[in-house]
Amino acid sequence: MEKKHKILILDDDADWLSLAREMLAALPSHPEILTATTGKRALALLESEPVRLLICDLKMPRIDGLQILAIVRRRYPELRTVVLSALEDEEFRSRAYALGVDMFWIKIEMQRNSKMFIECLESLLGRDDEPGFRGIQSKSLMDIIQMECLTRSSTVLRITRGPLVAKLWLQDGELIDAEAEGVRGEAAFRRILAWKSGTFENLPAEPNRERTIVKPINALLLETAQDMDENATPATPESIEDSAHRKTVWKLALLTREGAEFVISIPPEGMGEPEAIGATNIAPLVKWTRHAAAIARRLGERLEAGPVLQVGGQNLERQVLVLERGEKLFLVGWPADAAGNLMEKTKKLVASWDS
């Protein structure tokens, strides 16, 4: 017998719940629909039922949607989450995505594009944890680019991998430009192709984009594939040394370009040595970073305040941010007068660090 997924819709508006229930009845997999009008009820249902997907409103009395999402992200990491809200504020959208939601829909948009909404939900229900780019399962970026070129598309492919964003400009099936991590042209294209997973979307074509890539796409794909193969084969001691040197130079360039003072990358204790660029005598800083992260984790759990997003500090000379990525901790130092969203800049820097 085919297994039916369960969807839980949380919204304080009972009329909206019945409307949403009706709409979700159109899902091809015919999932079981559960509803809750309060966060407390929703948490109780999640505790007792194996729910696959939570559709959550944001603006609710007592416990709002963001609080619920923070709780469920920690308690049920496998649960798919969709925010369906009337709040058209970009800040809430980014906060929701920061909490790891799979999709964010505005209620009016959802009613206007109900077919697309249903398709997105169906895709979320069916999606397994496979590598690949969201939207087309088990296809590498190379496959996606080849498909676009074969169909002679004119489009801009926007590719996102965590906080990193890259773009590929295609015109009549030819790749004309690429941009990623502050570089353009062929170098950017090679960097993008090294990404193993991410999401992509098609943006409208930009025919007036300046052309920086003249090589045919097949030649570029072949060269990049060869480079990747060569990098994967065992290397000689000299080439390891060269590669380490190149990496250090590249990291220094990245640090300078972003305007950071230093980066310390800290593996878990007993799993390698911390690595620092721009800082010396790092042992006390490493100790502080590890302890700060441990304190934040413990406090977050005790207060039930959701996942730790960042730990920061500042004095008159500089600002520091502690960020966790995978198993590693990163301590990034910025000048006291560094402008812009430091959190986003730090995320970008850290994401590029080991890529």
Q: Given candidates 36, 166, 175, 296, which one binds another protein under the rule CB under 8 A?
A: 296
Q: What is the rounded CA–CA span in Å between residue 344 and residue 199?
A: 18
Q: Given candidates 8, 55, 70, 121, which one binds another protein under the rule CB under 8 A?
A: 70
Residue 18 engages another protein in binding (rule: CB under 8 A): no
Q: By C-beta, is 41 or 209 nearer to another protein?
A: 41
Task: Copy the structure tokens of residue 347.
Answer: 């995320």
Q: What is the rounded CA–CA span in Å between residue 76 and residue 60?
A: 21
Residues in 242-271 at the binding interface with another protein, rule: CB under 8 A:
none
Q: Given candidates 8, 51, 53, 99, which one binds another protein under the rule CB under 8 A?
A: 99
Q: If binding means CB under 8 A, how many residues of this protein chain bind another protein?
A: 55
Q: By C-beta, is 6 or 167 nearer to another protein?
A: 6
Residue 278 engages another protein in binding (rule: CB under 8 A): no
Residue 49 engages another protein in binding (rule: CB under 8 A): no
The edge-to-edge listing of strands for the beta sheet with 6-10 is 32-36, 6-10, 53-56, 80-85, 103-106
Give the binding range for another protein (CB under 8 A) out of 21-29, 182-190, 235-243, 295-303: 295-303
Q: What is the rounded CA–CA span in Å between residue 255 and residue 193?
A: 23
Q: Given candidates 7, 9, 20, 39, which one binds another protein under the rule CB under 8 A?
A: 39
Task: Copy the structure tokens of residue 197.
Answer: 């997973």
Q: By C-beta, is 187 or 295 nearer to another protein?
A: 295
Maximum Cα interatomic distance, the chain, rounded to a whole number of Å:
69
DSSP state of 233: S
Residue 12 Cβ vs another protein, minimum distance, rounded to whole Å: 12
> Which H/E stretch holds residue 278?
none
- Cα-based distances in Å from 4 to 29, 32, 281, 292: 7, 7, 57, 44
> Which H/E stretch holds residue 298?
helix 283-303
Q: By C-beta, is 17 or 296 nearer to another protein?
A: 296
Residue 183 Cβ vs another protein, minimum distance, rounded to whole Å: 31
Residue 87 engages another protein in binding (rule: CB under 8 A): yes
Residue 106 engages another protein in binding (rule: CB under 8 A): no
Residue 347 engages another protein in binding (rule: CB under 8 A): no
Is residue 102 within 8 A of residue 7, CB to CB? The reply is no
Q: Given candidates 8, 10, 17, 69, which one binds another protein under the rule CB under 8 A?
A: 69
Give the binding range for another protein (CB under 8 A) out of 21-29, 107-115, 204-212, 315-323: 315-323
Helices (H), 38-136: 39-48, 65-75, 90-98, 107-112, 114-126
Q: What is the rounded CA–CA span in Å between residue 124 and residue 121?
A: 5
Q: By C-beta, is 234 or 284 nearer to another protein?
A: 284
Helix, strand, or coil here: 261? coil
Residue 132 engages another protein in binding (rule: CB under 8 A): no
Question: What type of residue is 341?
Answer: N
Residue 315 engages another protein in binding (rule: CB under 8 A): yes
Is residue 168 within 8 A of residue 159, CB to CB? The reply is yes
* Site residues, another protein (CB under 8 A): 39-40, 43-44, 46-47, 58-60, 63-67, 69-71, 73-74, 85, 87, 91-92, 95, 98-99, 281, 284-285, 287-288, 291-292, 295-296, 298-300, 302-316, 320, 343
